[in-house]
Structure 1
Amino acid sequence: MRAITRPAKDKPPRLDSSHPVPQPSPTAYLVSTKATALTRGELTWPEPLEPEIPIPGYDLAGYIQQLPSESPTPSRFKTNDEIYALTAFHRQGNAREVSLALEEEMALKPRNMSFEEAATVPLSALSAWQALFVHGKLEANFTDRETLERSTMGKRRVLVTAASGGVGIWGVQLAHQAGAQVVGTSGPTNVDFVKSLGADMVLDYTKTDIADWVNEDRESRCFDIVLDCVGGETLVSAWKCARKGGTVISVAEPPVPKKPATGVEEGVEGVWFIVSPNGAQLARITQLIEEGRCKGCVDNVYKLEQWEEAFDRVEGGHARGKVVLQL
């Protein structure tokens, strides 16, 4: 089969046209890959270098070819089911024509999404879900919006930086659907797009310093949760935007080393985590997508043989949503 492989950690990927097809496993489903999405920086992550021959792309969208030999009866999934998943980083990824996924990693693909659209969801949406609802302690209560709008007592405020990026898109949507007041940051060309996702306010980072904006009226502008998807100086500013007892969650780099010496409220906690595959959480995201309350975003779709162009687009840092490889 065709696969994008990495012969060594210090060498660039390459297209292998005769890579061996993975063997069936007692616990893993054999999946015909239709699409995978790429993530900025993934070629530098340590975990994906563990396999003897690493393969990038940890989002998976496809259909089941074969059940595990030790799958429970009845299995949650059957042959030809259309599924999507985030697969574990320590195994080979999914930029290959046939892949493997565990039952606990998978969910049925949303019926109103193409394979390419579905491939944009798992890693990004699960990162946002776990940031907000696991580490940020926001309640994953998706009551109808009218009820949430009427409930003004105790509404939590969430800031999402790089709100038009892969994780940011989902941070805005999930926080909005859970009833939070959401502010996002983006470049000038994406302000309207981020508003369309449910942000109550979008700040153009080329014109507005977020920490200065908060300091103009800290009482009303501080945030309970800051989800930073940028790192660097943006993460330094993020600490100054959290209210007393708030949480700064970063998916870009560990936040504690970026905590400034001054300007941080008492009791603000910094959280760094690596997203985990979770089919149950992904199934809840599927429901929101099928109800029309959330959506993925495809920046560009490339054929497998165009993988170099795809990685160039990802690493350029200006993708709206996710870059997809189509198989």
Structure 2
Amino acid sequence: MSSPTPAKMRGIIQPNANSKDLSFTTLTTPTINPSLGEHLIHVKTCAPCAGELLWPKNFPPPNPHVAGVIISGPKDSPFQPGDEVYARTNYVRPGNAREFTIGVTDELAHKPKTLSWVAAAAVPVSAETAWQILFIHAGIAGDAEADWSAAQDAWKGKRVLVTAASGGVGMWVVQLATLLGAEVVGTCGTANIALVQSLGAKEVLDYRSTNIREWAEDPTKKVDVVIDCIGRQSLEDAWWTVRDGGVVLSIFQPPKQVCPAEYTGTGVKDVFFVMEPVRRHLESITKLVELGTCRGVVDSVWPLEQYEEAFKRLDGGHARGKIVFDLSLNQ
């Protein structure tokens, strides 16, 4: 017989919308509205996203990644009490750095059976973002969402530059784009070159020693699509690598914001988007993970109480994969 859900729980909160600091505190355990598709989840692990404390005030952080066990939900839900799930929950609800949280049917997926709780928390946000880049927003397979076959036909042979290829999203873009038949060039630091190569990149550029504008002066190096995961100077420099008629896509900022004034390319489409949780995308990713064709990477694991140190590691910009909170630690 399962234990009753406690009335109080541990959690991390952002005291107010303008605060860059967090507080570890005791919170009231949330209650669900099954008529809205809500499920109560006992959180096992969660993972923060870089820069989330600077998100707009209507996006209450922290931690949209979550992996845990269903406690209760709608009677007709595909996720029943005891099911192991993971998700990127919607930004408009409180985050998941707490012992119990809420997820709705359309954003949940079954946790890959092959993954530990820690490994599972490293997947949803990054993988779903990469999926939506390649199957929807880059527009390579058309204006609507593509299925696997159409995407594979469209991406086969395309040259793709992925910036911050050793980061959470970059790793998944490298893997999925390679599976779809693209020729991937990734940028990262010296220590992560072997990792990015192991994920499928045909060429890896050390951003500390390679000027990609100079690298792209050779027309054979030009790419069809830039997928930027870091913004700012890296995105500005990446404009020089795309061939005329190509695509520059960023998940950090609208690419035109940093397009060089002297840039002379023509017909380049620029794209910026914020991913949305979609159950069918994450279930597709689950299948790939269980087949062993894709994987997430965990940088480090922290107890919830050490959130300050974990966020310092995250915001330092040098994490190799995802930082994960394990709520079973320090209980």
Shift in alpha-carbon separation, 1:30–1:77, aligned structure 2, 3 A: same
Equivalence map 1:104-123=2 (5 Å): 104-123=106-125
Equivalent residue in structure 2 for 1:42, among 38, 41, 52: 52
Counterpart of 1:41, as a letter, is G
Query: Cα 1:247–1:153, aligned 2, differ >3 Å: closer, same or farther?
Result: closer
SS of alignment partner, residue 181 of structure 2: coil
**Secondary structure of the corresponding residue to residue 216 of structure 2:** helix
Alignment-derived partner of residue 204 in structure 2: 202
Judged with a 3 Å threshold, the aligned counterparts in structure 2 of structure 1 residues 133 and 153 are, in CA distance, closer, same or farther, namely closer
- SS for the counterpart of 1:111 is coil
Q: 1:154 to 1:262 in 2, by over 3 A?
A: farther
Aligned to 2:67: 61
Quote the Cα distance in structure 2 between the aligned partners of 1:55 and 1:127. 18
Find the counterpart in structure 2 of residue 102 from structure 1.
104
8 A contact 2:155–2:182 mirrored in 1: no
Aligned pair in 2 of structure 1 residues 170, 304: CA closer, same or farther (>3 Å)?
Answer: same
Question: 1:167-194: CA deviations, max 9, x gaps?
Answer: 1111101100111000001111100010
Within a 5 Å distance, the mapping from 1:223-238 to structure 2 comes to 223-238=223-238
Q: 2:126 aligns with which of 124, 129, 133?
A: 124
Counterpart residue number, 1:136: 138
User: d(CA) in 2 for partners of 1:55 and 1:320?
Assistant: 22
**1:243: which partner in 2?**
243
TM-superposed CA distance for 1:222, in Å, is 1.4
Cα distance in 2, alignment partners of residues 191 and 41 from structure 1: 24
Q: State the Cα distance separating 1:97 from its structure 2 match.
A: 0.2
TM-score (norm 2): 0.89
Q: Give the aligned residue type for 1:21.
A: T
Amino acid across the alignment from 1:100: I
| Cα distance in 1 between the residues matched to 2:267 and 2:82 | 51
* More deviation, 226-235/4-13: 4-13
Query: Which residue number in structure 2 is paired with residue 33 of structure 1?
Result: 43
Following TM superposition, by how much is the alpha carbon of 1:260 offset from its aligned partner in structure 2, in angstroms? 1.6
Deviations 1:226-284 (A, max 9, x none): 11111111111111111121111111122111112333421101111111111110111
CA contact (8 A) 2:156 2:182 kept: no
Q: Contact (CA 8 Å) 1:223, 1:241: kept in 2 or not?
A: yes
Q: Secondary structure at the match of 1:2?
A: strand
Closer, same or farther in 2 for the Cα pair 1:67/1:31, shift >3 Å? Answer: same
Contact 2:53 2:61 in 1 (8 A): no
* 2:127 aligned counterpart, secondary structure: helix
> Which residue number in structure 2 is paired with residue 85 of structure 1?
87
In structure 2, how many angstroms separate the alpha carbons of the residues matched to 1:125 and 1:263?
32
SS at match of 1:271: strand
Counterpart for residue 18 of structure 2: 10
Q: Is the alpha carbon distance of 1:270 and 1:309 closer, same or farther for their aligned partners in structure 2, counting shifts above 3 Å? A: same
> How far apart are residue 142 of structure 1 and its match?
5.6
Whole-angstrom CA distance in 2 between matches of 1:299 and 1:14: 23
* 1:153 to partner: Cα distance: 10
Q: Does structure 1 conserve the Cα–Cα contact (< 8 Å) formed by 2:135 and 2:147?
A: no
Q: Provide structure 2 residue ranges, at least 5 long, that are not aligned to the other structure.
A: 1-8
Tell whether the 8 Å contact from 2:155 to 2:181 is kept in structure 1 after alignment.
no
CA RMSD of aligned residues (A): 1.9
* 1:55 CA displacement: 4.4
Q: Is the 8 A contact 2:126 2:168 kept in 1?
A: yes
Contact 1:239 1:264 in 2 (8 A): no
Superposed displacement of residue 76, structure 1 = 1.5
Cα distance in 1 for partners of 2:68, 2:154 equals: 42
Amino acid at match of 1:15: F
Question: How far apart in 2 are the matches of 1:176 and 1:231?
Answer: 22
Q: Which runs of 5+ in 1 are unaligned?
A: none
What's the % identity of the aligned pairs? 45
In structure 2, the CA distance between the partners of 1:61 and 1:258, relative to structure 1 (3 Å rule), is same
Counterpart-to-counterpart distance in 1, 2:252 and 2:285 = 22
CA offsets 1:88-128 (integer angstroms, 9 cap, x no match): 11110100000000100011011111111111111111111
Of the structure 1 ranges 273-282 and 152-161, higher mean CA displacement relative to structure 2 is found in 152-161
Corresponding residue to 1:22 among 17, 25, 30: 30
Maintained 8 Å contact 1:304/1:325: yes
Q: Aligned letter for 2:255?
A: P
SS at 1:65 equivalent: strand
Name the CA distance, whole Å, in 1 between partners of 2:190 and 2:125: 26
Structure 1 residue 214, shift from structure 2 partner: 1.3
Q: Structure 1 residue 35: deviation in Å? A: 0.6
After TM superposition, the structure 1 = structure 2 runs for residues 188-199 of structure 1, keeping only pairs within 5 Å, are 188-199=190-201
